[in-house]
């Protein structure tokens, strides 16, 4: 299949570049055709594409099992289903129509033995793998990564939206203000910044629900551990002890900020990168 060849060729050409030390290294990622996007949420109500893929995997397994069990009627039904689902790839994404190996289906139906059917099925599986090797990661990154462009807080009356990077900039400013003011003995200013930080974190906590229906993720990042660090930090301010303030400010930054970043930030940034690439390559 031509995909596999392209992959192999690029591998051969790139390999020497990887080996020579000190040179700038890049990798390329093929983005799937834009028409794939309509089969994912939020453009669609369901993740249609993903469910088609789950069906295909199930169809493949059923065909193997009924072939081994020698149940011709069930085998025929599942082969029909497999063909219908496989054809659907080209119906959903017309650009992929030519990649399909449809000629394998009449051959599979005529196969004289489980071994022959197995051989044809492995050929079909290679067409699945060829496409996966080229596009799977690109599809996951483009259509299944969370969108962190705006902070969304839904209250009973309204939906408030604010740019994510601005919200974050304000948090880091407040964290640093607590640190600077306490180091220089400006205790009232440090206390004020801490209060504002707590309010902002509370607001940020309200935005988790845009993606998380349960409370557990919020508790993990903004729950008791973070609250305990903030309480000790407030004690340090009360006692005018900048060492304690620094220590618990650090603990808070690790339990809340750093942990949340470790989970969400690489995904947020990859998505932004791919969206930009798509906009640049798509003269509208
Ligand atoms: C022309 C492209 C193409 C072909 C052909 C194709 N797929 Fe896929 N498949 C994809 C893409 C793109 C993804 C990534 C979707 C995602 O994760 O959002 C994928 C993902 C999958 C997944 C992973 C779902 C998961 O997250 O666990 C399975 C299973 C799968 N495909 C099965 C199959 C089977 C079986 C076949 C062949 C009978 C097949 N696919 C043929 C494009 C293709
Ligand atoms: C734009 C969508 C989005 C927002 C908003 C969001 N998350 Fe997540 N989060 C995800 C995705 C996607 C995952 C990975 C899959 C999953 O676990 O749902 C994840 C995973 C997590 C995990 C690890 C898995 C788990 O369930 O324990 C934690 C913890 C978490 N998020 C905490 C938070 C907190 C706290 C907030 C709010 C301050 C938040 N998230 C806001 C999308 C989001
Ligand atoms: C949802 C969990 C979450 C929590 C909790 C969180 N952040 Fe962030 N933060 C993010 C995400 C996601 C991004 C990436 C946003 C983007 O790239 O647009 C980010 C980006 C940032 C940035 C870079 C902003 C920019 O201009 O690109 C800074 C600075 C930052 N966060 C500081 C903090 C600080 C300080 C805290 C703790 C007081 C914190 N964040 C808590 C999720 C979180």
Cα 100 from Cα 128, distance rounded (Å): 9
- Distance separating alpha carbons of residues 93 and 100, to the nearest angstrom: 11
Question: In terms of Cα–Cα distance, which of 60, 125, 48 is closest to 91?
Answer: 48
- Does the pLDDT of residue 17 top 70, yes or no? no
Pocket test for ligand 2, best of 217, 226, 261 (most atoms within 8 A of CB): 217
Predicted confidence at residue 13, as pLDDT, reads 41
**Mutate which of 257, 259, 263 to test ligand 3's pocket (most atoms within 8 Å of Cβ)?**
257
pLDDT of residue 150: 87
- Residue 152: the pLDDT is 83
Residue 9 in this model has a pLDDT that exceeds 80: no
Of the ranges 14-23, 190-199, 205-214, the best mean pLDDT one: 190-199
Nearest CA to ligand 2 atom 41: 208
| Residue 21 pLDDT > 80 | no
Average pLDDT, the chain: 89
CB 134 within 8 Å of CB 9: no
Mean pLDDT of 126-146: 93
| Residue 81 pLDDT | 98
How many angstroms does the Cα of residue 282 sit away from the middle of ligand 1?
Answer: 25
Report which bound ligand comes closest to the CA of 272: 3
Residues 6+ apart with CB under 8 A from 101: 1, 123, 124, 127
> Taking 50 as the threshold, does the pLDDT of residue 12 lie above it?
no
Residue-wise pLDDT for 205-239, tens only, equals: 999 998 999 999 999 999 999 999 999 999 999 99
Q: Is the pLDDT of residue 281 over 70?
A: no
Between the CA of 84 and the centroid of ligand 3 the distance, in Å, is 45
The pLDDT-based confidence of 3 (bands split at 50, 70, 90) is very low
């Amino acid at each position: 299949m031509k995909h596999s060849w392209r992959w192999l060729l690029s591998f051969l050409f790139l390999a020497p570049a990887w080996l020579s030390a000190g040179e700038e290294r890049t990798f390329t990622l093929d983005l799937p055709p834009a028409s794939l996007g309509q089969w994912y949420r939020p453009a669609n109500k369901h993740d249609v594409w993903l469910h088609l893929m789950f069906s295909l995997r199930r169809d493949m397994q059923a065909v193997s099992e009924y072939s081994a069990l020698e149940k011709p009627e069930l085998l025929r039904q599942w082969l029909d289903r497999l063909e219908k689902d496989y054809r659907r790839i080209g119906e959903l994404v017309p650009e992929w129509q030519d990649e399909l190996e449809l000629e394998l289906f009449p051959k599979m139906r005529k196969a004289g033995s489980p071994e022959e059917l197995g051989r044809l099925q492995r050929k079909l599986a290679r067409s699945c793998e060829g496409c996966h090797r080229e596009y799977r990661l690109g599809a996951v990154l483009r259509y299944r990564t969370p969108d962190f462009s705006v902070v969304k807080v839904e209250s009973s009356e309204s939906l408030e939206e604010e740019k994510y990077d601005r919200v974050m900039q304000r948090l880091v400013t407040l964290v640093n203000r607590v640190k600077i003011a306490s180091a220089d003995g400006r205790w009232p200013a440090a206390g004020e910044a801490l209060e504002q930080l707590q309010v902002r974190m509370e607001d940020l906590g309200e935005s988790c629900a845009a993606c998380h229906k349960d409370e557990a993720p919020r508790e993990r990042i903004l729950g008791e551990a973070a609250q305990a660090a903030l309480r000790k930090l407030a004690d340090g301010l009360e006692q005018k002890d900048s060492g304690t303030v620094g220590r618990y400010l650090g603990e808070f930054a690790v339990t809340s900020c750093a942990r949340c970043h470790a989970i969400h930030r690489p995904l947020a940034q990859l998505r932004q990168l791919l969206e930009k690439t798509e906009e640049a390559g798509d003269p509208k």
